[in-house]
Amino acid sequence: MTVTNKRSLIAFLLTVVLVVSLFTVSVSATDVDSSSSTGETTVVTEGTTASDETTDSGETTKSSETTEKEEGTTKKEETTSKEDADKEEEEAAKKAREKTKKTLIINGIIIGAILIIAAALIIKFREKLGAFLRSVKSELKKIVWSSKTQTRKSFLVVVVVAIAVALLLFIVNTAFTNGISMLADLF
């Protein structure tokens, strides 16, 4: 195998690992069921229908229709039992635990595969890896580091340029935003 083929193989393996990792992230993402978070409670009375609905902002709204009987009003309340709500919550929690368990298993498999591949590559290219690390160490010794004063000057230049660019972008953004608003007001 030539060096180019080895590099291509390593690049391909890294790509596969990245794609599998992205799939793992998508598997572990949770969907929010909007119907289970409305917080509706329905109270039914003979001749009366009432509904309390909690909105997202925490406000409660009530609507009711009342009809009275001639011989007096007998009210029988039927409510959505608390047990039903508890069962639904329990089922949702059970599904979440199962999904978490599956995600952990998938993550464990992927991490294990990555570690096995890394170990195999390290074992196979042990001599070349050692030579590479020795050459990196010798190259690091050849680096000429800047003095403190030169580093401070460079740092100040970078900060000043960053602030100047940020101000320029702010001014341009504000001008375009106000310009578009003014154009919108004209029409």
What is the pTM assigned to this prediction?
0.34
pLDDT at 159: 97
Q: According to the model, what pLDDT value does residue 27 have?
A: 62
Contact in structure between 61 and 53 (CB atoms under 8 Å)? yes
- Residues in the chain with pLDDT values less than 70: 1-5, 23-80
Cα torsion 103, 106, 112, 118: sign? negative
* pLDDT score of 3: 66
pLDDT given for residue 130 in this prediction: 85
Q: Residue 161's pLDDT is what?
A: 97
Predicted pLDDT at 41: 44
3-state DSSP call for residue 57? coil
Residue with tokens 């609905």: 53
